[in-house]
Amino acid sequence: MTVLLSKKAKMFAKYDEEAREIYIRRKDASKMTPGERYKVRVFLSDAQMSLEYTFSLIVANLTRYELPMLPTISKGGTGGKNEELYSSLDGPTPTIKSIDYRGNILIVFDKEVALSELDFINNGTVEIEGVKVPVLQVQAMPGNYSEAHYLNMTWNATAKTARTLTLEVTFAAHFNVSMSLDPDYMQVIFNDPLMCFAVGGGVIDKKKRLLTKNLPRQLPKGKEGDLFEDLITAVITATKVVIASNFLLNIFLTVALQYVLGMINTQQLIVLLPLFDIKAPANAELFFRQLMSVVAFEVYDTGDIVNATLSLEEVNPVNENYNTVGFESVYFINNMGTLFIVFMMYPVMMLLEYLLGLVASRCDIFVKVHHSFKHFVYWNYLITLVFESYLVIVICCLINFQHMSWSETGLIVQSVLTIICFAIIVVLPIYSAWVFWRNFKNLSNK
């Protein structure tokens, strides 16, 4: 391993190659302000990678700093000898983003990281207080009404990127996972701080090394689970195609949507049944979750985009029942998903109708098209969308009402849109009823 100090660092610091430590020269330390932090840039490189590592030397507080090993040659941690060094760095924050029905765990980092090789993550150990423990500890923990011996499992790190680490868990008895009223949960502990550190320097803070997330009920491994997932995916995809094609035909050919919308209304009542505290096997939960994508017109998962745009941290759902039917957050826009984008398209549809009207006034060929499109926009689009997704919108609003906040810009946007949408879905039915009542005598003449 090669270590190069920056020019500024060379003025007051030296590198001890044998001990792999950087230290302030005694003669220079006396000239520097006690307690002052002096930024140091260190360039680490070996045959496989190069990193720029930045931290602060603190005068008269700690005079020697042991450098972290590169991940490609890491053989284990140092047992907390560098806490002063690590505390001066901005390390990564890991989060368990998801655990699916097949035991796949996705861990994401808030910044680019350098991870040790998968073999070391799976089999490496580190000594902590004289006891050897795995560098990464993964274990299923029982809920209040479960027992640990029901959750025997093995795990394996299968993939890594600059911002993610994927683990695969296999349970000895998948049907026992989270089958009690209080769900079991997965616990991931980063025991070796040098197993993962930010590319710019810094390791995971001690308070952030323990990750937990509730475990969903599990599907069996192998062909049985694959067959069921493929079957559900095929059925839901076919349903989405039927609804989308019918919706497009309604725009241009005024084809009736009553049959499709009646089906969606029925599905809404069915898909929300898991909100009641009734335990179901994983295959039933997966069916409800996929069906929710049809009911809520979910085409694409917009959660990550919304969080990045509004600078929001990922939060857990209200509980596992809400998570089962697709309400994976407490934020209104996140839970609405694609449905929110469809609502935001309404002003665009109005603009298109206006432009099409200008074209139709000059070209008779487009008159019929404009008439159909105008009827769709002002009668079918908004009214149909609100009434057919009414229940989903209400639940999304009520969830966010329980977590209203005005502390950050992103949370303010969520709260304001929640209030506006809730006002619309409350006022629109009343207004529609008033319009029909006022024109009731004229309805028979049209």
Q: Provide DSSP, 95-136.
A: EEEEE-TT-EEEEEESS-EEEPPHHHHHH-EEEETTEEEESE
Give the residue with greater pLDDT, 241 vs 381: 241
Give the residue with greater pLDDT, 98 vs 291: 98
pLDDT (0 to 100) of residue 248: 65
pLDDT (0 to 100) of residue 43: 62
Provide, rounded to the nearest whole percent, the portion of the chain with pLDDT above 90.
11
Residue 58 · residue 90 · CB < 8 Å:
no
pLDDT (0 to 100) of residue 136: 92
pLDDT (0 to 100) of residue 81: 39
d(CA 299, CA 92): 32
State yes or no: pLDDT of 80 exceeds 60: no
* Confidence bin at 381 (pLDDT 50/70/90): low
The values of phi and psi at residue 58, to 5°, are -110, 115
pLDDT (0 to 100) of residue 98: 86
pLDDT (0 to 100) of residue 61: 39
The burial class, CB within 10 Å (0-12 / 13-18 / 19+), for 71 is buried
Provide, rounded to the nearest whole percent, the portion of the chain with pLDDT above 70.
68
Q: First CA to last CA across the chain, in angstroms? A: 85
Of the ranges 163-167, 284-288, 373-377, the best mean pLDDT one: 163-167
Provide the 3-class DSSP secondary structure of residue 53: strand
pLDDT (0 to 100) of residue 158: 93
Residue 217 · residue 285 · CB < 8 Å:
yes
Which contacts (CB < 8 Å, 24+ apart) does range 160-163 have? 160/115, 160/118, 160/121, 162/112, 162/113, 162/199, 163/108, 163/109, 163/111, 163/112, 163/113
Give the residue with greater pLDDT, 121 vs 229: 121
d(CA 265, CA 272): 11
State yes or no: pLDDT of 293 exceeds 60: yes
* Confidence bin at 139 (pLDDT 50/70/90): very high
The values of phi and psi at residue 320, to 5°, are -70, -25
The chain-wide mean pLDDT, for the chain, equals 75
pTM above 0.75, yes or no: no
d(CA 37, CA 58): 5
pLDDT tens, position by position, 173-188: 887 888 777 788 899 9
- Chain center to CA of 6: 38
pLDDT tens, position by position, 89-130: 577 889 998 888 888 999 999 888 878 888 888 988 888 877
pLDDT tens, position by position, 296-346: 667 677 777 888 888 888 787 887 778 777 788 889 998 888 788 878 888
pLDDT (0 to 100) of residue 303: 78
* Confidence bin at 398 (pLDDT 50/70/90): very high
State yes or no: pLDDT of 242 exceeds 80: no
Provide the 3-class DSSP secondary structure of residue 92: coil
The values of phi and psi at residue 23, to 5°, are -140, 155
Give the residue with greater pLDDT, 399 vs 192: 399
pLDDT (0 to 100) of residue 299: 66
Of 13-17, 234-238, 286-290, the least confident = 13-17
* Confidence bin at 84 (pLDDT 50/70/90): very low
Please give the average per-residue pLDDT across 55-68, as a whole number.
Answer: 50
Alpha helices in 298-408 (DSSP H): 303-310, 320-324, 332-336, 338-344, 346-362, 367-375, 382-388, 390-401
pLDDT tens, position by position, 6-61: 666 666 666 666 655 666 665 665 566 555 556 666 666 555 455 555 655 555 43
